[in-house]
Structure 1
Amino acid sequence: MKKKIICTVCPMGCLITVDGEGERIDDIQGYGCKRGLEYGTNEFSHPVRILTSTVRTSSTHTPLLPVRSQSPIPKERMMDCMEEIRKVTVEKGVRCYDTIISNICNTGIDIVATGEFL
């Protein structure tokens, strides 16, 4: 299976073509540097993303609080994590980088606040 990936490591935006199956890579082309090779390899075999979202607050004045994952989450777990985030409502007293959800969906990754709700 061939997969085309646009590298986001630097502003060049190289078009990387990866040929392989599952986690096995037979050929990789189009990367412009060593970091691009690493990005293309990882994106093909185990894609991850930083999850950004919002959680509800108990206030009508400030109804949403921005949050993000502390580190990248496997792409295939994103929707499960979003379901868990939807269930959360926070009370006043949240500071930036406070943990909102620990170990979301057993990924070992925390969801932290990126704003304040005081």
Structure 2
Amino acid sequence: MMNSQNLICITCPRGCSLTVSYDDQDQMIITGNHCLRGTAYAKAELTDPRRMIASTVRIHGGIHKMLPVSTNAPFPKAKIMDLMALLKSIEIDAPVKMGDVLIEDVLGTGIAVIASRSMNQL
């Protein structure tokens, strides 16, 4: 019996319904995609799922109390809760410019957390 999984591709607005099954040699067979991005998405989602992360951190001396931040690349899904705990525990000093790297190589992933907006000092 062939094992299969269904996914919805999120790489473009079309939202293709993908079916991923495996042949006798354990090779992935991906159907339902209308472009090559669907194939790449399905392979990545089943082998190393990642997500872009957007959150906030506390900022000291800024015009607001919280600063929006994001990762500069898709982050490993298995480490998202660790990242959120880390972001909850830190406080940044104002001023900050949009795009400033706040944390380099967060949790050893090679991914940075960057400021999503500029924030002047009070």
TM-score interval, smaller chain: 0.7 to 0.9
Q: Distance in 2 between matches of 1:30 and 1:115?
A: 39
Q: Distance in 1 between matches of 2:105 and 2:4?
A: 34
Residues 60-118 of structure 1: per-residue CA shift (max 9 Å, x gap): 85111000001111111111111111111111111101111111111111100011121
1:91 counterpart = 2:93: yes
What corresponds to 1:77 in structure 2?
79
1:69 partner amino acid = T
What corresponds to 1:68 in structure 2?
70
- Tell me which of 76, 86, 108 is aligned to 1:106: 108
Change in Cα spacing, 1:38 to 1:60, as seen in structure 2 (3 Å) is closer
Q: Give the percent of matched residue pairs that are identical in Structure 1 and Structure 2.
A: 32
SS in 1 for 2:94: coil
Q: Note the residue ranges of structure 2 that are not aligned, 5 or more in a row.
A: none
Please tell me whether the aligned partners of residues 8 and 18 of structure 2 are also in contact (alpha carbons under 8 angstroms).
yes
User: Could you say which structure has the larger radius of gyration?
Assistant: 2
Please tell me whether the aligned partners of residues 18 and 25 of structure 1 are also in contact (alpha carbons under 8 angstroms).
no
Please tell me whether the aligned partners of residues 3 and 44 of structure 1 are also in contact (alpha carbons under 8 angstroms).
no
What corresponds to 1:4 in structure 2?
6
Q: Distance in 2 between matches of 1:60 and 1:102?
A: 22
Please tell me whether the aligned partners of residues 98 and 115 of structure 2 are also in contact (alpha carbons under 8 angstroms).
yes
Q: Distance in 2 between matches of 1:11 and 1:2?
A: 24
TM-score (norm 1): 0.87
Cα shift at 1:3: 2.6
Following TM superposition, the consecutive aligned residue runs of length 4 or more in structure 1 with deviations greater than 3 angstroms are none
TM-score (norm 2): 0.84
- Tell me which of 49, 52, 60 is aligned to 1:50: 52
What corresponds to 2:118 in structure 1?
116
Change in Cα spacing, 1:67 to 1:60, as seen in structure 2 (3 Å) is closer
Q: Note the residue ranges of structure 1 that are not aligned, 5 or more in a row.
A: none
